[in-house]
Amino acid sequence: MVVRRHWFDIFLQLLFVFAMIFLLIASFTSIPALFPIMEKKSFNILFIFAESLFAMIIWVCFALIWVDYYFDVWIITNKRIVNILQNGLFNRDVSELELNRIQDITTEVIGIIPTFLNYGNIYIQTAGEKERFIFRNVPNPYGIKDMVMNLQKKQEQDESNELGEMIEKKVHEGINL
């Protein structure tokens, strides 16, 4: 299973970008009307340059928010959990957790909107060098927690079955000698 942050998380971050777009459109329409000096060619060129620069800043902010959202990924397999966190454009943190190292799983849904939209945080306590894995603002945190716990139990059962079969095989080989 591949898990990304909930869509509402990126929506909240993009509200800032939408506000900047609104400001850009409002300034493009109202500043020339409020300041007639802008009709002169030299001021008009400067105004268009400033507007274009502001539009590029908006685009860069949007791109940074999207990259951070899209490349923050948690991959859950039947053997391990892979945590990939994108920090800026050129910094990525990748860590792994084997299911048999999990000690505790906690979910946290705080607030009315996360409750209605069913998203929240999942904290996985481990015995490894990275003590805590955090799934931030993921959809269906209770379902993901249940799935990870079921995968962990299934892996423990499979390992104990393999160990039992190996012991039985060794005992059987010892008897045939």
Mean pLDDT value of segment 91-110: 88
Confidence of residue 130 (pLDDT cuts 50, 70, 90): low
Please report which confidence band the pLDDT of residue 128 belongs to, taking 50, 70 and 90 as the band edges: low
Q: Band the pLDDT of 17: cuts 50, 70, 90.
A: very high
What is the torsion angle, in degrees rounded to the nearest 10, for the CA atoms of residue 48, residue 53, residue 54 and residue 57? 160
The pLDDT value given to residue 129: 67
Q: What is the mean pLDDT of the chain?
A: 86
Which is higher by pLDDT, 36 or 47?
A: 47
How much is the pLDDT for 175?
Answer: 63
Mean predicted confidence (pLDDT) in 124-142? 84
pLDDT value at 20 more than 70: yes
Q: What is the pLDDT of residue 174?
A: 66
Half-sphere exposure of 106 (CA within 13 A, CB side): 9
Identify the weakest region by mean pLDDT among 37-46, 94-103, 119-128, 130-139. 37-46
Span 88-117, mean pLDDT? 88
What pLDDT score does 63 carry?
92
Predicted TM-score of the model (pTM): 0.73
Tell me the pLDDT tens digit for each residue of 138-165: 999 999 999 999 988 888 887 777 777 7
